[in-house]
Amino acid sequence: MVEPKYICQQAIQKRGARHAREGMTRKVQTIGFDADDTLWQNETFFRLTQDRFAELLSGYADRDHLMDRLLAAERRNLGAYGFGIKGFVLSMIETAIEVTERRVPADVIAELLAAGQDMLAHPIHLLPHAEEVVARLSESHRIVLVTKGDLLDQERKLAQSGLGDFFHAVEIVSDKNADTYARVFARHGAGPESAMMVGNSLKSDVIPAIEAGAVGVYVPHDLTWALEHAEPPRDHPRFAEIADLGQLPALID
């Protein structure tokens, strides 16, 4: 027997796919892909490092308090450090200094720095269907990687992913908003009206792309950073939700 929750999810995805098809009054020529947690795993490694952070500072505060303080530091520091591992490590160190009232041991700081270095050296794990879908669509569309974060780290991950040759262009940006997508899709196509953006973040990948005039395709990931949460615009004619990347070619066709 199929669970009612699963039936409901199928109905939502079918409705989203129908809306996207209805919204594509012009043929999609350019497809933008997010990178982290859309093409390869990323948030998993942040969560593992957060666990280590909580363990190292367990003598000073409980886990929930530490996570709240860390998230507040990350939010506060986005304007200065941007997105990515380096800003995350600096926010962990800042939080450690705060919760210990400047008494954090040097060994703990060293452990946090080492954890960040491990994250920067971690091998890439592609998500299901990523390679086959990007390869297939690159034969019929202009494919653009649109990702935010640290330049060197994102370049490293793309090189290690083996997907680099499939992309016609790569845009590593400081943030993602409607203006970003308008510029990217104008530079690498005929503008957002003939473009589609695919990603796991409603806040960064889907909603601003729709605001720019493109189709936004949401591919949920099991783990999503708290600062990327947003409500899905399910009734928008240019919004679609698919269970995984394997469903993307059928949506476009």
At residue 41, the 3 state secondary structure works out as: coil
The pLDDT > 90 percentage for the chain reads 83
Tens of pLDDT, residues 48-60: 999 999 999 999 9
Q: Which structure tokens are listed for 213?
A: 């005039």
Contacts 24+ apart (CB under 8 A), 134-138: 134/33, 134/39, 134/163, 134/166, 134/167, 135/166, 136/249, 137/31, 137/248, 137/249, 137/252, 138/166, 138/167, 138/168
State mean pLDDT over 165-181: 97
Higher per-residue confidence, 26 vs 247:
247
Main-chain phi, psi angles of 40, to 5 degrees: -145, 160
CATH number for the segment(s) 43-120: 1.10.150.240
- Provide the mean pLDDT of the chain: 91
Domain ranges of the chain: 4-41+124-252, 43-120
Q: Tell me how many helices (H) and strands (E) the chain has.
A: 10, 6
Q: How far apart are CA 11 and CA 217, in angstroms?
A: 16
- pLDDT at 14 (0 to 100): 52
Q: What's residue 92's pLDDT?
A: 98
> What would be the CATH architecture of the domain defined by 4-41+124-252?
3-Layer(aba) Sandwich (3.40)
Tell me, what's the pLDDT at 114? 97
Predicted local distance difference test score (pLDDT) of residue 8: 43
Beta bridge partners of 170: 145
Is the pLDDT at 23 greater than 80? The verdict is: no
Residue 3 has pLDDT above 50, yes or no: no
Tokens of residue 44, six digits: 């998993």
**CA distances from residue 144 to 35, 66, 115, 131, 169 in whole angstroms, order as listed:** 10, 38, 31, 14, 5
Distance, in Å, from the CA atom of 112 to the CA atom of 120, rounded to the nearest integer, reads 13
Instruction: State residue 26's pLDDT score.
Output: 57
Residue 25 has pLDDT above 70, yes or no: no
* pLDDT, position 78: 92
CB 185 within 8 A of CB 208: no
Average pLDDT for 225-251: 94
* CB 148, CB 114: distance < 8 Å: no
Sign for the pseudo-dihedral over CA of 182, 183, 188, 189: positive
Distance (Å, whole) CA 171 – CA 209: 14
